[in-house]
Structure 1
């Protein structure tokens, strides 16, 4: 049984008392794959960003996802939208549109890539695209070389993804926290300042150009980012060393409860290809100080299979909760909810509920079983599908305008879609198209809702693989 958190701060001594594991605070080095684009030539200032993040001891470097690991998208070109998008989309929330029946022209090959061979055989015509989704616009970059946040100069972040958002629940200093996945710094520095994950904080509710992030300040729990040094965002959740083969610690969901911040993360065993990866386990990390310091609950570990995690028993059904999406309910509901999907982007979605004070305790979870029309305690294997696959990275909220539960994810066509339901467990209606994958070439994924946009206007972060950065999108509901 997972211990109840009773901490004001996380130190080695207090972690031992409450049963938290303090992960090793050493970042691995990285492969050089994304450092071939616009940010590759950017040089760090003389200090403090000239120090490379150290490599993991006792083994070769591990790095980011391999080439073509995101739906066959091209090698990342940091911070750059394709030319056809830049020519048609301004920085002032212009609508992302393509002429009906016309697919965007492919971008010309980069200078370091050979041109494609001429095709002599006639190719079948492209199928017509689905109807254009109304009301979806590109607001601007949240991260990267072209972001007004200047994430390179202020946080040593040239490339990253995800940007999971949640309200910190602090009545004295209300903020939105944003958790990112694999993060690159200055490409010219040894190891490229690669980090498993990073975190931003913001109070921006206007969102007129992007999500504005204030400066980071060392040891300041409300500043723009937790820092290792001035100008260098730190890795917030480190490796626990519970799995012998680990290539990533990736946040998948975040929520505030009882004055603490909780992040569901997945331990990556292997990056496969085409939207597929293999996890060792998922688990819950907790921060008592608004994301400044983190510990991991050993009792929260959900092993994906038998034998991968020493000391963690495999429970059938936990393979379907390797990635998560927390959901705060509508009025009068005392529970929190969490969706689960298997590793990768091909699986269906399931759902569980928990008392709001028991996020890290798997013995308190109840799983929705549609056949029995009930919540089944402590048995993830009893969970039945609530949203059929393929479901990519997802986010969820109760929408006050719709008075419905709303989920966003990328489907099998890699389009951003929404579904709605009268209850967290469904039934969910058909997919509603928000962004077509070919409207923004380069591999879009991970639409994460802004927790303060619960009305007619929806704002959500969206990652673009070819740029390997995060952009803010806006949708106006009909």
Structure 2
């Protein structure tokens, strides 16, 4: 359990603020809709939250007076000896139930003292009406309480599940073996977003979760697959991965479903630029060849495939934004869309350190998206959320309109690097990104790093204007190898659209950027920055 978070909330919570309110439970008028007809989402479009995100239910723990949430499982401290839990990964079993795997579980005697710690646990549900949360039908039990699935080895703090799936009657859990009581490694910020691992490993069960065997299939403590998220198709198990803590990028590997425990059979995505996951040239047997599919700081995360939209979904806590964000992609290898905020950290006016967002597998066929999120305040527990989703324009640039925090500084909790710029009136909007230039040297207006495929063409666009006629602003990309693909449009005092088709060369990441050269005394403002595949 992340025992240091409570202290961190008081110190950091004042920096968070709410951008949209959560609908009270009594106004909910939705359910788990039946699977809807598939939609062929055009390449220029994306899937995005379209409605108000709602917290529906407290899934576990002790009821809190006045909280106003459904309690589908009542007081689980009384019934199952489970008062607090860390996170909740869900997957569909071969018996067509939902299995929930939990990390770090406690019973309490008086609401404060933690007793009977279990590093991990599992429950089952067949509940398809999620309007009042998800009801568990049973737990993997030991006596009158929950059973620990995978025991902790000497010298370790805990074994936390990070991914789980069922294939041909066998269940698999990918877990991280945590060291040093969740303490940050030496030399890293004391922000509770780093921890030290011994390794990541797969455990499996052949008796529906009752007994688990450590397989010996491991990834190193510093591997980009030390934490994982699972997804399967007809042939492969896809393993998305990230490093220990919450500052890593997302990588991708795959293995035939018959070879999940054969580490030498895993192939790692290299980003060579072929069109889709069906290509064999994009996959290497060498883990060191793996290249990120998203470049942003990613925490515990989940992935899913929407049969409604024929797109892949990803969700996680964004550390720069301190919010739960959602991304989507046409192919499992990407390109992945911008980060779209799906849930805030301030709920009903109260700071709530939220993390560990996981999709409910049975909401992938409609427009009602259900997912669980873990909270630390006032007690660690798991909560069921709901939102509506629909189509919007596809964009690989996060916060391209600079509108996320209109009353904050332009660089507040953003993926943009804007050390020289300030907020200004945008294009038909309150906020754009303005550089008041005072030097003849090159000065960056705004820069954002994007994960791309090698040798691929993308289109970058923006709206731009200047305080006078100027041809010294360059717009385009800087490749990871230091080369550029940009141009210098002629700007004046009127807003105009600027656009360029750019190629990535032998690179898997680029910086989308606007930079001003040799124009002291000139102001330049940009807005509505986009990047999309051609």
Preserved contact between residue 204 and residue 213 of structure 1 (Cα < 8 Å) = yes
Q: Deviations over 1:366-408 (max 9, x none)?
A: 1100136433343111110101121111111111122111111
Secondary structure (helix, strand or coil) at the match of 1:183 reads strand
Q: Deviations over 1:206-233 (max 9, x none)?
A: 112111012xxxxxxxxx1011112x10
Preserved contact between residue 303 and residue 312 of structure 2 (Cα < 8 Å) = yes
**Aligned equivalents of 2:24, 2:339: Cα separation in 1:** 28
Residue of structure 1 equivalent to 2:148: 235
Secondary structure (helix, strand or coil) at the match of 2:346 reads helix
Residue of structure 2 equivalent to 1:282: 200
Residue of structure 1 equivalent to 2:156: 246
**Aligned equivalents of 1:151, 1:391: Cα separation in 2:** 31
Preserved contact between residue 393 and residue 447 of structure 1 (Cα < 8 Å) = yes
1:167 aligned to 2:77? no
Structure number with greater CO (CA < 8 Å, separation at least 6) is: 1
Write the mapping of 1:41-440 to structure 2, written as runs, cut at 5 A: 64-68=1-5, 72-74=8-10, 90-92=24-26, 134-146=51-63, 147-149=71-73, 150-170=75-95, 174-188=96-110, 192-214=115-137, 224-230=138-144, 232-241=145-154, 245-270=155-180, 271=182, 272=184, 273-298=191-216, 300-304=217-221, 319-329=223-233, 333-371=234-272, 373=274, 374-412=281-319, 413-439=321-347
Secondary structure (helix, strand or coil) at the match of 2:207 reads coil
Going from structure 1 to structure 2, the CA distance change for 1:89 and 1:399 (only over 3 Å counts) comes to closer
Going from structure 1 to structure 2, the CA distance change for 1:397 and 1:191 (only over 3 Å counts) comes to closer
Preserved contact between residue 22 and residue 55 of structure 2 (Cα < 8 Å) = no
Unmatched 5+ stretches in structure 1: 1-63, 76-83, 96-131, 215-223, 306-318
Residue of structure 1 equivalent to 2:489: none
TM-score, normalization by structure 1: 0.66
Going from structure 1 to structure 2, the CA distance change for 1:67 and 1:190 (only over 3 Å counts) comes to closer
Preserved contact between residue 328 and residue 397 of structure 1 (Cα < 8 Å) = no
Secondary structure (helix, strand or coil) at the match of 2:299 reads coil
Residue of structure 2 equivalent to 1:463: 374
Preserved contact between residue 159 and residue 184 of structure 1 (Cα < 8 Å) = yes
Return the index of the structure with the highest Cα Rg: 2
Shift, 1:301, TM fit? 1.4
Preserved contact between residue 198 and residue 221 of structure 2 (Cα < 8 Å) = yes
Preserved contact between residue 362 and residue 378 of structure 1 (Cα < 8 Å) = no
Write the mapping of 1:447-462 to structure 2, written as runs, cut at 5 A: 447-454=357-364, 455-462=366-373
TM-score, normalization by structure 2: 0.59
Preserved contact between residue 93 and residue 209 of structure 1 (Cα < 8 Å) = no
**Aligned equivalents of 2:153, 2:387: Cα separation in 1:** 39
Going from structure 1 to structure 2, the CA distance change for 1:133 and 1:73 (only over 3 Å counts) comes to farther
**Aligned equivalents of 2:258, 2:27: Cα separation in 1:** 40
Shift, 1:423, TM fit? 0.9
Shift, 1:190, TM fit? 8.3
Q: Deviations over 1:326-376 (max 9, x none)?
A: 0123xxx52121100001111100000111122222111111001364333
Unmatched 5+ stretches in structure 2: 12-17, 30-48, 64-70, 185-190, 275-280, 391-534
More strand by share: 2
Preserved contact between residue 158 and residue 186 of structure 1 (Cα < 8 Å) = yes
**Aligned equivalents of 2:356, 2:22: Cα separation in 1:** 23
**Aligned equivalents of 2:263, 2:53: Cα separation in 1:** 38
**Aligned equivalents of 1:91, 1:416: Cα separation in 2:** 20
Preserved contact between residue 448 and residue 462 of structure 1 (Cα < 8 Å) = yes
Preserved contact between residue 367 and residue 382 of structure 1 (Cα < 8 Å) = yes
**Aligned equivalents of 1:164, 1:69: Cα separation in 2:** 23
Secondary structure (helix, strand or coil) at the match of 1:357 reads helix
Secondary structure (helix, strand or coil) at the match of 1:348 reads strand
